[in-house]
Each structure stands twice: as C-alpha cells, then as structure tokens.
Amino acid sequence: MTANTIIPVLINGATEDRVSSLDRGLLYGDGLFETIAVSNGEPVYWSRHMARLQAGCERLGIPWVDADRLADEARGLLQGVDRCVLKIVVTRGTGGRGYRPPPEPQPTRIIQRHPWPDFPARCGEQGVTVRLCEQRLGYNPLLAGIKHLNRLDQVMARQEWTDPDIMEGLMADTNGNLIEGTMSNLFVVQDQVLITPELGRCGVAGIMRAAVMELAGELPLQVALRDFGMTALLQADEVFLTNSVIGIWPVVRLGEHSWPKGKATQQLQQRLADLHREGNRRHDQG
C-alpha cells in the first residue's frame, strides 16, 4: 500500500475523508486511537479495545462517544471483509486557537479500514531481529498506559532505521529501563517467570499484552510486572513482542546477541492460536 492509497473511512458516520483544520486531534494530538485486528469479519478483542478507548477518554476529559455507535459504524465498514485492520480515532473535535479545551467538546470519530499487513509468516514462526532505539521515552504518569495520539517518540524511533530485516526497535526510558517496542509490548522469560515492564510512567498498556498475561496464568507460568534493563534482557531465556495485529513475535536477535525461540513463547503462541480457532467469543471475555 502506498501512502496515497485510498482506504475506506467514515468520519462521524459519513463516508468522507476530511477533518476540519481546527480539529484538536490534528492541532495538538488531543485524542486517542485503537488499532484492531479483524478476523472472520469480527473485530478481535472489541470490548477490550473499547474499554481502553473509554478509559483514555476519561483520562483526557473527552466525552465518551458511545461504543454502540462505534460498533455500528465499524460493522458498516467491515461488510463482506474477512480479514483487515480497523483503526478507530477519537479526538476532542474542533476548537478555537489555543490549548484550552472547548467547554462542550463534540468529539470527532474516525474509522478506517486498512488491508491486513503483509508481515512475513517467518516473523511469528522463526522470530525477528530487533534493534535498540536511541530515542528514549520520558516519564508521564498521567498519560502512561492509554493510547493517545501524541506518538512523536515512536515516530522519531521508527525513523532511526530503514533496514527491512529489522522488524522492531526497542525503546528504553530516560533511566535505561526497557519499556516496549515502537509498536509493541516487550516480554522476557527468565527462570520460568514471564516478566513485562509495569508501564506506570510511560508506554502503552497493550490489549495483546493483557491477553498474553492471562494466557500465561493458564499455562501456568508465573507473571511479574517489573522494570528491567539491557543486562537482564541479554540474560533472558526468551524474549518476545506483542501487539493486536502481530500477536506474538519471538525476538531472536539484537546486534550480536541471539536468543532461541523458547518453549514458553511457543506455548503462548499455541494458546493464542487455539483461542483464535475457538472464535471471538472467548477473546472478548473480560
């Protein structure tokens, strides 16, 4: 897909592809988004995505837009489509010049339907090579966890490399704790414990991250939310990345260092695939 490919989009329920130049999403990144995998025509983990979007709206003080309406609009856009990626953006809507939010914001809803990305199957099967990004994540506890539109840290990090063999960049915070990938959450397995950063100060609390932690409990694999840096990463038995579209990608190489695609990672991938076969109903519990 080129940058100019036309994709199906609804804005506030209408078939158009323009927002006002006064939209605060454009002016200040004043909004939130969700990127949702669609499988067998159904958005996967829909209620979890809606819950995060709603929590984000509450955190930013944006009036909640009604999940039923979003669901209706999404359904319209998905008709006859089996597999794709749905992107939902909610902004605070238009306002005058200046940061002060309007007293009665009218949120903008943008729903886009994107083709399923053509990541090679080997990413999940054999694992990926990653790099460590120079761009760091600053602390912002009030914005941590939610998927707000201010993504310049990720944009800066992602433009650090063009090598197509490097599938993801890892990002550390300003103290050197590893937090996540540019578009994914980070897990390590050490001595049978699944560890992922806590994300109280920065990072996005991924939907797939939460799902994987639940699946780990079923394996059973102990789960710990804990900060770790490069030393612990390099000593880890297994490393993997998650997001709603990629699922689980084992990490097998960073520079000169390599990890095997480990047993826990494979078991979690298997559990996720089983869940997928069972259908969306189980996905959406909780």
Ligand X SMILES: Cc1ncc(COP(=O)(O)O)c(C=O)c1O
* Pick from 107, 129, 131: nearest CA to 120: 129
By annotation, the residues acting in catalysis are 35, 147, 180
Q: Would you say 212 or 252 has its CB closer to ligand X?
A: 212
Query: Is residue 189 helix, strand or coil?
Result: strand
Alpha helices in 45-194 (DSSP H): 46-60, 67-78, 122-125, 152-158
Residue 136 has which token pair?
């760091």
Is 215 a residue that touches ligand X (CB under 6 A)?
Answer: no
Least gap, CB of 37 to ligand X (angstroms): 8
Question: Least distance (Å) from ligand X to the CB of residue 106?
Answer: 27
CA–CA gap between residue 247 and residue 127 (Å, rounded): 12
Does residue 248 touch ligand X according to CB under 6 A?
A: no
**Which one of residues 173, 180, 227, 238 is an interface residue with ligand X (CB under 6 A)?**
180
Distance CA 55, CA 62 (A): 10
Is the peptide bond preceding residue 164 cis, with omega within 30 degrees of 0?
A: no
Query: Which residue in the set 208, 213, 221, 248 belongs to the binding site for ligand X (CB under 6 A)?
Result: 208
For the CB of residue 97, give the shortest distance to ligand X in the complex, in Å: 30
209 is a contact residue toward ligand X (CB under 6 A): yes
Q: Kindly state whether residue 243 participates in binding ligand X, applying the rule CB under 6 A.
A: yes
Q: Which parts of this chain interact with ligand X (CB under 6 A)?
A: 35, 154, 180, 183-185, 204, 206-209, 242-244
